Structure 1
């Protein structure tokens, strides 16, 4: 996932990094890489700190992907601090780079993950990459269960979303990836 994320950062980094006079040209590639790392590590940190509901909200499209979103704010702050520390950018310049890049990149990431015709990002791959261990994956499943009723995931109409529903979806729609894809609007 990290390589695809770096490609997204490169795609959106033109104005915010490459054409930005505040970022010295010799640092362009390093700033792009730092942006990818900050996004990836911040998402992992949010999951590890119990932010599975925030992640579910982000990828379901229920949360705006702008500066009002706590995930966007957290990643922007992380990136801004890192750019200032590692590359000597002023607070205003590093904040400007972060606020220009993060909403665009996260918006594109979410849209690509939800698009059934775009295989560059899969929800299941993203969740596996950022969750890291079974305890966190379990937390994500708890969140899926909590919000599953809203998303029509009660496949056996028993009034709850549980393993039985996962089995119904996984038999017909491509395993756990199909279940997670259904949660986030993929077909």
Structure 2
């Protein structure tokens, strides 16, 4: 999943990283890798903490903005790394991350929900994020746990 995330960030980094004069060109690839790693680590940490509700809401496409605590934490992680590694101001780093992270996360969630898009497999994502003990609960929330409260057609994604 990490490699696919980095590729997704690369496809979205043109204006926010590659053409951004605040990030020196020699750091573009490293900046893209940082964003991908921070997204992956941030989501994985939420799964390990047992924040199944937050992850479920996120993958339903609810509030994929800087107002979401999960997205906010990822933005914060990227901001800290950009400021320390590239010597840019925290304000500029926050501006970059605040635009790029929600954009990438929206695409990531849409790809994960799309049964015709093979780039991100929802079942693999849930395994990566949910941890061994939580995966059943997380899958149950996505599929509705037999109560009709899940994502409806997303249950069919597990055959992908």
Deviates more, 1:134-143 or 1:65-74: 134-143
Give the aligned length: 157
- Specify whether residues 20 and 64 from structure 1 end up closer, same or farther in structure 2 by C-alpha distance, changes over 3 A only: same
User: Which shifted more, 63-72 or 91-100?
Assistant: 63-72
Q: Which of structures 1 and 2 has the larger relative contact order (alpha carbons within 8 angstroms, sep 6+)?
A: 2
Q: 1:101 to 1:139 in 2, by over 3 A?
A: same
Match of 2:49 in 1: 49
Give the alignment of 1:116-155 within 5 angstroms: 116-131=115-130, 133-141=131-139, 143-144=141-142, 148-151=147-150
**Distance in 2 between residues matched to 1:152 and 1:25, nearest whole Å:** 42
The 1:152–1:89 alpha-carbon spacing in structure 2 relative to 1, beyond 3 Å, is: closer
Query: TM-score w.r.t. structure 2 length?
Result: 0.88
In the alignment, structure 2 segments of 5+ residues that lack a partner are none
Looking at structure 1, the residues matched to 135 and 104 of structure 2 have their Cα atoms a distance apart, in angstroms, of: 24
For structure 1, the 5+ residue unaligned runs are: 154-168, 182-187
Question: What is the distance in 1 between the residues matched to 2:146 and 2:13?
Answer: 34
Shift of 1:129: 1.8
Deviation at 1:130, TM superposition (A): 2.0
Paired position in structure 1 for 2:77: 78
Matched, 1:34 2:34: yes
Q: Compute the displacement of 1:37 (Å).
A: 0.4
Which consecutive aligned stretches of 4+ in structure 1 deviate over 3 angstroms post-superposition?
Answer: 141-148
Larger mean Cα displacement after TM superposition, 142-151 or 86-95: 142-151
TM-score, normalised to structure 1, is: 0.76
| Separation (CA, whole Å) in 1 of partners of 2:70 and 2:128 | 17
Q: Compare 76-85 and 31-40 and name the one that shifted more.
A: 76-85
More helix by percentage: 2
Root-mean-square deviation (CA), in Å? 2.2
Structure of higher CA gyration radius: 1
CA distance in 2 between counterparts of 1:139 and 1:82 reads 33
